[in-house]
């Protein structure tokens, strides 16, 4: 779905709409059941003209995701966190430790249900944006899947992160008002 939103610019969307109207006109022409062909042809001309006009402006090159964020800006996250930096041997670390209410994270269980996979990166990217950090480009599975260590069950790691190695540690949080439990981010560590 994300690839479709990034492929469809406003200009392409209007052209696809024109193609659908052209298909409608051809269908009316072939069926000849007294249906007018003028309405779909008028809509085809309107869509092509709209595509030409939209192409002349920078907004025509926005993809649907950018357009959605422009028209409906995402809510800014208010995060309660503490930052700490330290050095160990030749590696520097920066950690962001979150306090209640911790930011929510949607996870998908693996087939066996033993581990979790972080597929939807939108929530994590919103957290990273609010911390003024670069976004991740792909999801990942829990580190314990590859390391086979039970100590890594709550950790997700990106070795290809622009600032170094990004480690996200999840937790199980409780919303006392709604009486629900949810997965949340308890800590983010960047080693560089």
Q: What is the pLDDT of residues 149-175, one digit of tens each?
A: 878 888 999 999 998 899 999 999 888
Q: Are residues 162 and 103 in the same domain?
A: yes
Task: Kindly report the length of the chain.
Answer: 192
Quick one: pLDDT at residue 3?
A: 65
Query: Contact, 28 vs 37, CB < 8 A?
Result: yes
Q: Do the domain assignments include residue 29? A: yes
Q: Are residues 60 and 88 in the same domain?
A: no
Q: Are residues 94 and 67 in the same domain?
A: no
Residue 134 DSSP code: P
Q: 17, 47, 71: which is the final residue of a domain? A: 71
Residue 74 has pLDDT above 90, yes or no: no
Q: How many contiguous H segments (helices) and E segments (strands) does the chain have?
A: 6, 8
Q: Are residues 181 and 128 in the same domain?
A: yes
Q: Do the domain assignments include residue 76? A: no
Summary mean pLDDT of the chain? 83
**pTM to 2 decimals?**
0.62
- CA-nearest of 171, 164, 172 to 190 is 164
Residue 94 has pLDDT above 90, yes or no: yes
CA gap 92, 139 in Å, rounded: 24
Number of independent structural domains in the chain: 2
Q: Are residues 128 and 94 in the same domain?
A: yes
Q: Are residues 178 and 98 in the same domain?
A: yes
Range of the domain at 20: 2-71
- Which one of 39-53, 72-86, 152-166 scores highest in mean pLDDT? 152-166
Q: Are residues 119 and 181 in the same domain?
A: yes
Q: Are residues 34 and 53 in the same domain?
A: yes
Average pLDDT over residues 72-96: 87
Q: How many CB atoms are closer than 10 A to CB 25?
A: 20
Q: Are residues 63 and 89 in the same domain?
A: no
Q: Are residues 45 and 111 in the same domain?
A: no
């Amino acid at each position: 779905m994300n690839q479709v939103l990034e492929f469809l610019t406003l200009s392409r969307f209007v052209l696809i709409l024109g193609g659908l109207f052209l298909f409608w006109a051809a269908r009316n022409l072939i069926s000849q059941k007294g249906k007018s062909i003028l309405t779909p042809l008028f809509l085809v001309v309107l869509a092509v003209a709209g595509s030409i006009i939209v192409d002349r402006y920078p907004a025509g090159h926005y993809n649907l995701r950018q357009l959605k964020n422009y028209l409906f800006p995402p809510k800014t996250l208010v995060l309660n966190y503490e930052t700490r930096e330290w050095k160990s041997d030749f590696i520097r670390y920066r950690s962001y430790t979150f306090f209640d209410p911790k930011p929510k994270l949607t996870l998908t269980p693996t087939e066996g249900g033993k581990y979790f996979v972080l597929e939807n990166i939108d929530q994590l990217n919103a957290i990273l944006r609010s911390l003024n950090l670069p976004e991740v480009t792909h999801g990942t599975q829990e580190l314990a899947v590859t390391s086979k260590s039970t100590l890594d069950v709550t950790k997700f790691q990106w070795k290809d992160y622009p600032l170094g190695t990004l480690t996200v540690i999840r937790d199980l949080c409780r919303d006392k008002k709604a009486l629900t439990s949810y997965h949340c981010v308890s800590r983010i560590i960047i080693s560089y």
